[in-house]
Amino acid sequence: MRDLRGAIGRAVLTTALGFGALAFLAGAGQAQSFDRMVVFGDSLSDNGNLWIATGGAAALPRPTLSNGPVWAEYLAGPLNRFFPVGPINNAANVDFAFGGARSDAAVASPPGLPTQIGAYALRGGRFGASNLASVWAGANDIFQALPAAGVNPATAQAVMTGVAQTAAANVTTAAGQVAAMGARSILVLNLPDIGAAPAFNTGPAATLASYSATTFNAALASDLAGLAAARPTTNVISVDIAGLFNAAIANPGAFGFSNVTQACVAVASCAAATTAQQNAFLFWDGVHPTTAGHALIAATVREYLMAPISAASVAAVSETALTTRRSDATRAFDRLREHASAPDKTEYFVNPYGDVGRAKGGSQRFGQEWKLGGVQFGMTRALTTEMLFGLVGSVSYGSVDGRDGSRVSFDMANFAVDMLGSWKRGGFFVNGGVGASVASVIDWKRKTVGPLENSADSTAWSASALAEAGYEMRMGAATLTPSARLGWLHASSASFTETGVIAPIGFSGRSIDALMGGVELRAGVDLANEAGRKITAYALLGYEDFLSYSGGAVKGRLANNTALPFSTSIGDLRGEGVIAGLGLGGQFGAAKLTADYRASFGKGNNARHRASVGVRVAF
């Protein structure tokens, strides 16, 4: 992005992400990885080609047109340059971008996009299946046309419309050439608001410069959509740099900048400062960002590349719906056990409860933590001396926070109903229940770059069918009850699309089906048993796990983007594991008070803690 006639000064962008040699897509639910990067473009991507071509340090103080490395270096690690001229090493990263390059071949030097790509092919350059290409140009076409266009304000916009649209078409053609050479994944970056750069933001050309960049970006989006349609197997990833810079300029402090309007080299104290101090400026010179700006660019590009992996966080929605349904259903069974009235008597209850826990991440899944509270209410009625019926509702609200690499958080409001039945003869009993829940996913947030985050709302629903059988053995004031449980669980999350500046994702719906099984041993004791007053306590120990689990892959695509849809496999959710619990109940006339606590400890250091208190009254 450099005008060789001197109309546009030098500038730079840097990052400090340190991903190494493109090993930057490793993590939960890995959907794609890249082992090599090939770069085409102008000074925003040039890692030293113009510097070498113009005599090195004798002409320019640094290899890059910045106070540090450019975004591609910090994304991919070291990149071989255009020089020395010779055969391409197709196993190494390569950067053919030149400062001052145009999107066309109108001038021989510096080489424009078509010349860069042609030279790469002529020197034996190839693209492997796991290579990533990038194309970023168009600014120099605009810079060089602005002075002449601005002479006649009546025709200036019309002239710059043609320039911008032609440059966008050239960039798209270049991306198509790279695709034709075998590149399967191609980054195409749009332009920041040129009118907001220090070279223009206080001058008369600011409005026309902004208009030109906006026109270029609109044309590029349209042209890339056509390219993606023509090449349905090529992953053309559009990166919104305009949105990033607009956000940073609007809220500089949140991005770590103190100055977003002046060029560092134009302020003596900044020009003479250390790199760290210079990075408080967004712009290095009139049109180029500092190394800190490049860091933002690299982080932004990474968000687009990482979308298939970041998307794995959405599995938490369907999984939270599933585990909440399990908890609601098993908690409803506890209400059956508390019924003590004779036939034709109905007991009504209210039980506030809390539920906190964590699920650790793994090789194909992120971790999460949750905190929720709710209230369970309903009735149980003894139909006969052996038959019991129950109807239970519950309302809960809680928060879920991603862990182990997930940057997602959301709230969930859950509404559930369970219908229960119990048969008991002697000490033997069988309990069964069916239930369903609907949930609102509220305030979904996924952090991206700096203070930016994408947001959404959504819904989920779940269903269950559980049965348990056991035998109650009375031994004086003590009771020992072994039991076994089998249940089917289902949960489905709805599709939704994020809104946000950086790499918003449109998620497809996801469903989970699971068969759970468990065993439990409960020991109870009567602490007091006299007319009008009875106090009991119990302790339990059990184990529960999924006997089968089928959770679909996370599917989606970058919203409003030419990138291909993706499907990311998710590891199975772990079961409850070892369960321990305590409870206390006191009956006083027609009223009964209860309190209980459960803790479960599953594989991978998973843990869950649930507690409730309740009151029930018989009529």
How many Å apart are CA 239 and CA 134, to the nearest integer? 10
Tens digit of pLDDT for each residue in 306-342? 999 999 999 999 999 999 999 999 999 999 999 887 8
Return the closest-CA partner of residue 516 out of 549, 491, 547, 484: 547
pLDDT exceeds 50 at position 2: no
User: Which residue, of 193, 221, 245, is where some domain finishes?
Assistant: 245
Residues 212 and 346 in one domain: no
Q: Under 8 Å CB-to-CB from 301, ≥6 apart: which residues?
A: 71, 75, 187, 189, 239
How many Å apart are CA 276 and CA 215, to the nearest integer? 35
Share of the chain above pLDDT 90, in %: 89
How many Å apart are CA 462 and CA 418, to the nearest integer? 12
Core vs surface per residue 111-149: b (16+ CB within 10 A) or e? bbbbbbbebbeeeebebeeebbbbbbbbbbbbbbbbeeb
pLDDT exceeds 80 at position 59: no
Return the closest-CA partner of residue 46 out of 4, 107, 90, 106: 4
pLDDT exceeds 70 at position 5: no
Would you state the pLDDT for residue 206?
A: 98
pLDDT exceeds 80 at position 403: yes
Please check whether residue 274 lies inside any domain of the structure: no
Residues 374 and 517 in one domain: yes
Is residue 61 very low, low, confident or very high in pLDDT (cuts 50, 70, 90)? confident
Tens digit of pLDDT for each residue in 410-453? 999 999 999 999 999 999 999 999 999 999 999 999 999 999 99
How many Å apart are CA 47 and CA 12, to the nearest integer? 10
Return the closest-CA partner of residue 523 out of 545, 538, 534, 510: 538
Q: What is the DSSP string of 139-160?
A: HHHHHHHHHHHTT-HHHHHHHH
Across 5-14, 470-479, 594-603, least confident range:
5-14
Mean pLDDT across 582-588:
94
Residues 454 and 553 in one domain: yes
Return the closest-CA partner of residue 39 out of 9, 4, 5, 69: 69
Core vs surface per residue 67-79: b (16+ CB within 10 A) or e? bbbbbbbbbbbeb
Residues 231 and 326 in one domain: no
How many Å apart are CA 501 and CA 507, to the nearest integer? 16
Please check whether residue 569 lies inside any domain of the structure: yes
Pure H helices in 10-152: 49-53, 71-76, 113-122, 139-149
Q: Which helix H or strand E contains 489, and what residues bound it?
A: strand 478-493
Please check whether residue 277 lies inside any domain of the structure: no
Residues 236 and 324 in one domain: no
Please check whether residue 61 lies inside any domain of the structure: yes
For the full predicted model, state whether its pTM sits above 0.75: yes
User: Which residue, of 191, 220, 245, is where some domain finishes?
Assistant: 245
Please check whether residue 295 lies inside any domain of the structure: no
pLDDT exceeds 70 at position 9: no
Tens digit of pLDDT for each residue in 530-549? 887 899 999 999 999 999 99
pLDDT exceeds 50 at position 406: yes
Would you state the pLDDT for residue 23?
A: 38
Q: Under 8 Å CB-to-CB from 366, ≥6 apart: which residues?
A: 28, 29, 312, 313, 315, 316, 402, 403, 404, 405, 406, 408
Would you state the pLDDT for residue 24?
A: 34
Mean pLDDT across 79-94:
96
Residues 343 and 225 in one domain: no
User: Which residue, of 245, 278, 312, is where some domain finishes?
Assistant: 245
CATH number of the CATH domain containing 134: 3.40.50.1110
Share of the chain above pLDDT 70, in %: 95
Would you state the pLDDT for residue 32?
A: 64
Would you state the pLDDT for residue 200?
A: 98
Residues 44 and 172 in one domain: yes
Main-chain dihedrals φ then ψ at residue 61, nearest 5 degrees: -70, -20
CATH number of the CATH domain containing 560: 2.40.128.130
Please check whether residue 333 lies inside any domain of the structure: yes
Q: Are 327 and 355 in contact (CB under 8 A)?
A: yes
Please check whether residue 278 lies inside any domain of the structure: no
Across 91-95, 142-146, 344-348, 453-457, least confident range:
344-348
Across 66-80, 159-173, 332-346, 374-388, least confident range:
332-346
Residues 496 and 364 in one domain: yes
Residues 193 and 329 in one domain: no
CA angle 546, 351, 583 (to 5 degrees): 65
In total, how many domains does the chain have? 2
Q: Tell me how far apart the terminal alpha carbons of the chain are, to the nearest angstrom.
A: 82
Residues 239 and 327 in one domain: no
Residues 347 and 238 in one domain: no
Please check whether residue 535 lies inside any domain of the structure: yes
* Structural domain boundaries enclosing 454: 320-618
- Answer positive or negative: Cα dihedral of 403, 405, 409, 412: negative
Main-chain dihedrals φ then ψ at residue 368, nearest 5 degrees: -155, 155
- Looking at residue 166, what DSSP letter applies? H
CA angle 483, 489, 495 (to 5 degrees): 160
Average pLDDT across the chain, whole number: 93
Is residue 58 very low, low, confident or very high in pLDDT (cuts 50, 70, 90)? low
pLDDT exceeds 80 at position 21: no
